[in-house]
């Protein structure tokens, strides 16, 4: 099969990715072989490929096939697989597996499992013609969704949904969303569905236009210090959700939220001092559990949310990543096979 391999993390300009013919993966009894139809391109792929996460042990093996938001058709099933069959259209998200035994797994928070496997980081991912998935971590794709429409739901979709769930309840609340890219444009939609009044903040005017089209009531240039100061003085922001990868923006979000409000961080951030007497609550968020993934698919199938994307071929994966690095991808890039 054709696959994009990362052999040594380094800047994209040094061409760390190679297109190569490799053997089909072998299945274990609880796994399925999926012929990939589409795979989203995520900024976390870029971080791993360029070596930003080496100190965190990511990737955990080399060479590795990146990619963790995958849709395809089952070609073969292992001997113990009972809930899926050949020909089923399925999706695979970053959470490739978890132990099933720890406190987190037993309470529906398997994304926090210390023994979890991550698609495209600890096991081979979707930048390939075929990928292996575990039965318990696969999702049937509704007939109404194409592969390109569905693939981004498996990372930006579930990540945004889980963040908004953590921010809630949001009915009648004013919610500021920082960063309106692949995840942020999904968060705008989920926040609106939850009944929030959404303020979108971005430095990219095209991203702000998308946010407006998706229902944001107010769209603010994150570089406009006067607008931001006015927003702060109003003192009516109940919650901020941050997807912009900037320590300064995370700090800005904390300062904008009113006393007693919430800040949900979907990015790593170094936080400075802030007043504890205001009783603000700061929460982290990462992907989401399986039950929430099913809800994301249901909402998309009903036409209540959509992922905005542009497509590239598998061979164009390095170019898609370069465009992402340069800020040229409008919302999400998707590789099609």
End residue of a domain, out of 267, 284, 301: 284
Same domain, 275 and 306: no
Please write the tens of the pLDDT for every residue from 185-225.
999 999 999 999 999 999 999 999 999 999 999 999 999 99
Range of the domain at 280: 157-284
Same domain, 95 and 192: no
Lowest mean pLDDT among 119-123, 143-147, 242-246: 242-246
pLDDT at res. 263: 97
Q: DSSP secondary-structure letter at 51?
A: T
Same domain, 8 and 124: yes
Distance of CA 109 to CAs 115, 198, 209, 288, 290, Å?
13, 27, 35, 8, 8
Task: Note whether 233 and 211 are within 8 A (CB).
Answer: no
- The vertex-108 CA angle with 261 and 77, nearest 5°, equals 135
Same domain, 24 and 73: yes
- By percentage, how much of the chain surpasses pLDDT 90? 93
Token pair of 70 as six digits: 């995958």
Residue 168's SS3 state is coil
Same domain, 188 and 264: yes
Q: With left for phi above 0 and alpha for psi between -120 and 50, is residue 165 left, alpha or beta?
A: alpha
Question: What mean pLDDT do residues 49-56 have?
Answer: 96
Same domain, 262 and 321: no
Please write the tens of the pLDDT for every residue from 57-100.
999 999 999 999 999 999 999 999 999 999 999 999 999 999 99
Task: Note whether 183 and 159 are within 8 A (CB).
Answer: yes
pLDDT at res. 245: 83
Say which residue the tokens 């093996």 belong to.
Answer: 61
Of 2, 12, 157, 165, nearest to 71 by C-alpha is 157
pLDDT at res. 272: 76
Same domain, 24 and 79: yes
Please write the tens of the pLDDT for every residue from 237-275.
999 999 998 888 999 999 999 999 999 999 988 887 777
Residue 328 banded pLDDT, cuts 50, 70, 90:
very high
pLDDT at res. 271: 80
Of 28, 21, 257, 8, nearest to 128 by C-alpha is 21
pLDDT at residue 312 is higher than 90: yes
Say which residue the tokens 């979709």 belong to.
Answer: 157
Q: With left for phi above 0 and alpha for psi between -120 and 50, is residue 299 left, alpha or beta?
A: alpha
Of 255, 251, 260, nearest to 281 by C-alpha is 260
Q: Is the peptide bond before 129 cis (omega within 30 degrees of 0)?
A: no
Question: What mean pLDDT do residues 126-133 have?
Answer: 99
| Backbone φ, ψ for residue 127 (5° rounding) | -80, 60
pLDDT at res. 274: 76
pLDDT at res. 52: 96
Same domain, 69 and 135: yes
Q: What is the rounded distance in angstroms from the CA atom of residue 133 to the CA atom of residue 94? A: 11
Q: What is the rounded distance in angstroms from the CA atom of residue 223 to the CA atom of residue 221? A: 5
- By percentage, how much of the chain surpasses pLDDT 70? 100
The pTM is what?
A: 0.95
Q: DSSP secondary-structure letter at 59?
A: S
pLDDT at res. 90: 99
- What is the count of structural domains for the chain? 2
Mean pLDDT estimate for the chain = 96
Q: What is the rounded distance in angstroms from the CA atom of residue 31 to the CA atom of residue 26? A: 9
End residue of a domain, out of 269, 284, 299: 284
Same domain, 164 and 234: yes
Token pair of 180 as six digits: 């309106």
Question: What mean pLDDT do residues 32-57 have?
Answer: 97
Same domain, 62 and 211: no
Same domain, 31 and 63: yes
End residue of a domain, out of 265, 284, 303: 284
What CATH number is attached to the domain comprising 231?
A: 3.40.50.720
What CATH number is attached to the domain comprising 21?
A: 3.90.180.10
Same domain, 276 and 292: no
């Amino acid at each position: 099969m054709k696959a994009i391999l990362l052999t040594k993390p380094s800047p994209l300009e040094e061409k760390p990715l190679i297109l190569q013919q490799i053997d089909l993966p072998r299945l274990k009894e609880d796994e399925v072989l999926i012929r990939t139809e589409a795979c989203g391109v995520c900024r976390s792929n870029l971080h791993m490929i360029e070596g930003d996460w080496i100190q965190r042990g990511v990737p955990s093996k080399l060479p590795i096939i990146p990619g963790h938001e995958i849709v395809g058709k089952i070609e073969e099933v292992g001997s113990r697989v009972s809930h899926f069959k050949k020909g089923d259209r399925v999706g695979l998200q970053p959470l490739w597996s978890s132990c099933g035994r720890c406190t987190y797994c037993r309470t529906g928070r398997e994304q926090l499992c210390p023994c979890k496997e991550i698609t495209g980081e600890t096991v081979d991912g979707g930048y390939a013609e075929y990928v292996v998935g575990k039965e318990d971590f696969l999702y049937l794709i509704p007939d109404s969704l194409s592969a390109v429409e569905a693939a981004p739901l498996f990372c930006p979709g579930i990540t945004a949904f889980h963040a908004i769930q953590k921010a809630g309840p949001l009915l009648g609340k004013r919610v500021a969303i920082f960063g309106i890219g692949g995840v942020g444009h999904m968060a705008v939609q989920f926040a609106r569905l939850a009944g929030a009044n959404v303020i979108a903040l971005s430095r990219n005017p095209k991203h702000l236009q998308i946010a407006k089209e998706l229902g944001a009531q107010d769209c603010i240039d994150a570089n406009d210090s006067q607008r931001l100061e006015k927003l702060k003085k109003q003192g009516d922001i109940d919650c901020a959700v941050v997807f912009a990868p900037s320590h300064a923006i995370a700090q800005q979000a904390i300062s904008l939220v009113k006393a007693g409000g919430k800040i949900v961080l979907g990015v790593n951030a170094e936080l400075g001092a802030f007043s504890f007497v205001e009783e603000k609550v700061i929460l982290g968020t990462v992907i989401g559990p399986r039950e929430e993934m099913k809800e994301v698919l249901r909402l998309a199938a009903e036409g209540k949310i959509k992922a905005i994307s542009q497509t590239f071929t598998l061979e164009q994966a390095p170019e898609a990543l370069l465009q992402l690095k340069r800020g040229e991808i409008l919302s999400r890039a998707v590789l099609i096979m």
